[in-house]
Chains A and B, each alone.
Chain A
Amino acid sequence: MLARRIIPCLDVAGGRVVKGVKFLDLKDAGDPVEVARRYDREEADELVFLDITASHEQRGTIIDVVSRTAEQVFMPLTVGGGVRTVDDIRALLKAGADKVSINTAAVFRPEFVREAAERFGSQCTVVAIDARAVPGSPGKWEVYTHGGRKTTGIDAVEWAARMEEYGAGEILLTSMDRDGTRDGYDIPLTRAISDRVGIPVIASGGVGNLQHLADGLTAGGADAVLAASIFHYGEYTVAQARDFLRDRGIPVRPRTAVPAI
């Protein structure tokens, strides 16, 4: 049986890991390559680097981070943030990324997702959706861009279905209402999108404890759970998360019994 995935996320700015609440108040939290190595030792199932570098001059730093990570860590690596052109994707894949995540650029020009999928394959084309509940309309969520700052008026569930049609191989779904709150994933949102699309959905935004991961996978129906701060600050290891999920009957990867050499 396919294991549900546990995915630590590293927000990277100017080549350093940072963490803030709702994309604000960023704090320096270490060297991404070192942090990636730690998650590799803990046998995380995948890693996500989200490049939130603001200044144009520092945009190249993520390529170097990906390249150094891919030399030392042999696990699936997704990179998102500022992916706007086919050349951006090619550069990230060449540096050693396995998947790239497209967000704002997909909203501006959905054809970009189709071009990416046709050129590089759906398997490496992730569409990231930042969604927020529409006030006064239960069961409705809207797509936001620019790190959650700009509204688009697009329905998030319809958007996910459209991105699947355009060739997305996976949806990385972040609740902007929950991101940084530690109140847990937006379960109705996660379930609505996971039920709607036939591609895997990664739940993101709001994890404060291990029960939240379990909820995302069961009630939320997600295929994978993404979390940043609970792993980053050492509250829980990935191994603890895996044991917790296994004890609740959720299929996860067993701790490996195969030594590398």
Chain B
Amino acid sequence: MSPKSAAIGVVDYGMGNLRSVGKALESLGFPVAVTSDVSVLDGCRGVVLPGVGAFRDCMDNLRKGGLLPFLSDYLASDRPFLGICLGLQLLFSESEEFGRHEGLGFLPGKVVRFPAGMTEPRQGGGERRLKIPHMGWNRIDVTLEHPVLEGIPSGSHFYFVHSYFVAPADRSVVAATSSYGIDFTAAVASGNRLAVQFHPEKSQSAGLRLLSNFGRLSREAG
């Protein structure tokens, strides 16, 4: 066990905009370490796994960075964990994005694409095609009590940008749902772990509330 740091670790595996989640946590008064160093991450009070980009590239980068065994152990330990977007999808067994690719397998289930040809009624009559990616602000319905979702009621809006969503085999982990042509899982939770499909670091006050909840959980349980 590494020496404890007061920081929340943001897993840096060379993809996407990692700056925003770190800056958001810092703006809320939580020290942050953005790093790929396993020993530093292991000493943090909580770990955030962000992610944008393609599933396979993310898994490849985690593997190359030697982060896969650490993440598996960390998830098994029930220490505070927050997965964001791809950081939610990576928890599952496999994804069908650009072929079939194995994920971390912490939760049984698949990552699947929104079906083509979804429509919604058009104002003034007719049908309107639903665009993919699902991009923008959508409401969530909270289905599970969790400390990181405290103070965030159903109907709160968060910023989403994704073409794939998770289909957990065990529905009891579903913590929030949203709807875009079909109902889909917006968050999963178990113990001190929560992972969300949307981007709290881009969701203004609702997102900052979630991150602040995670910071406090990390302080208390990490």
Task: Give residues in A with beta carbon < 8 Å to B.
Answer: 1-5, 40, 43, 45, 70-72, 74-76, 93-98, 120-124, 169-170, 197-201, 218, 221, 223-224, 249-250, 253-254, 256-261
Chain B residue contacts of A97, Cβ below 8 A: 17
Distance between Cα atoms of A170 and B157 in the complex (Å): 21
Nearest residue (CB) in B for A76 is B202
Is the beta-carbon distance between A261 and B155 smaller than 8 angstroms?
no
Distance between Cα atoms of A224 and B161 in the complex (Å): 14
Does B187 make an interface contact (CB < 8 A)? Answer: no
Other-chain residue from B134, B153, B208 in contact with A2 (beta carbon distance below 8 A): B134
Q: A74-B20, A256-B204, A258-B156 are in contact. Are A123 and B137 (CB under 8 A)?
A: no
Nearest residue (CB) in B for A121 is B53
- The smallest beta-carbon distance between A141 and chain B, in angstroms, is 20
Does B221 make an interface contact (CB < 8 A)? Answer: no
Using A74-B20, A98-B202 as known contacts, list a sample of 17 further A-B pairs with CB atoms less than 8 Å apart, ordered by residue number in A.
A70-B19, A70-B23, A74-B208, A76-B159, A93-B17, A94-B17, A95-B19, A96-B17, A120-B53, A121-B16, A169-B135, A200-B133, A201-B131, A223-B131, A250-B123, A253-B137, A254-B155
Number of interface residues of B (CB under 8 A): 51
Chain A residue contacts of B131, Cβ below 8 A: 197-201, 223
B56-84 vs A, CB cutoff 8 Å, 1 = contact: the mask equals 00000000000000000000000000000
Q: A45-B137, A74-B203, A93-B16 are in contact. Are A260 and B208 (CB under 8 A)?
A: yes
Nearest residue (CB) in A for B180 is A2
Distance between Cα atoms of A259 and B212 in the complex (Å): 11
Is the beta-carbon distance between B135 and A261 smaller than 8 angstroms?
no
Does B152 make an interface contact (CB < 8 A)? Answer: yes
Is the beta-carbon distance between B19 and A96 smaller than 8 angstroms?
yes
Other-chain residue from B128, B138, B152 in contact with A3 (beta carbon distance below 8 A): B138
B130-166 vs A, CB cutoff 8 Å, 1 = contact: the mask equals 1111111111000000000001110111011111000
Tell me the interface secondary structure of chain B in the complex: mixed
Q: A2-B137, A256-B156, A260-B209 are in contact. Are A199 and B132 (CB under 8 A)?
A: yes
Nearest residue (CB) in B for A171 is B131
Does B201 make an interface contact (CB < 8 A)? Answer: yes
- The smallest beta-carbon distance between A213 and chain B, in angstroms, is 14
Does B206 make an interface contact (CB < 8 A)? Answer: yes
Does B222 make an interface contact (CB < 8 A)? Answer: no
- The smallest beta-carbon distance between B165 and chain A, in angstroms, is 13
Is the beta-carbon distance between B209 and A2 smaller than 8 angstroms?
no
Nearest residue (CB) in A for B54 is A121
Does B3 make an interface contact (CB < 8 A)? Answer: no
Chain B residue contacts of A122, Cβ below 8 A: 133, 163
Chain A residue contacts of B116, Cβ below 8 A: 198
- The smallest beta-carbon distance between A259 and chain B, in angstroms, is 6
Chain B residue contacts of A5, Cβ below 8 A: 136-137
Give 11 A-B contacts (CB < 8 Å), ordered by A residue.
A2-B136, A74-B20, A76-B161, A98-B20, A199-B133, A201-B131, A223-B131, A254-B155, A258-B152, A259-B205, A260-B28
Does B52 make an interface contact (CB < 8 A)? Answer: yes
Distance between Cα atoms of A93 and B14 in the complex (Å): 12
Q: A2-B134, A74-B24, A123-B133 are in contact. Are A43 and B52 (CB under 8 A)?
A: no
Other-chain residue from B54, B120, B133 in contact with A169 (beta carbon distance below 8 A): B133
Is the beta-carbon distance between B123 and A261 smaller than 8 angstroms?
no
Other-chain residue from B17, B128, B204 in contact with A40 (beta carbon distance below 8 A): B204
Is the beta-carbon distance between A200 and B19 smaller than 8 angstroms?
no
Q: A121-B53, A122-B133, A221-B128 are in contact. Are A254 and B157 (CB under 8 A)?
A: yes
Other-chain residue from B20, B160, B161, B208 in contact with A261 (beta carbon distance below 8 A): B208
Is the beta-carbon distance between B204 and A75 smaller than 8 angstroms?
yes
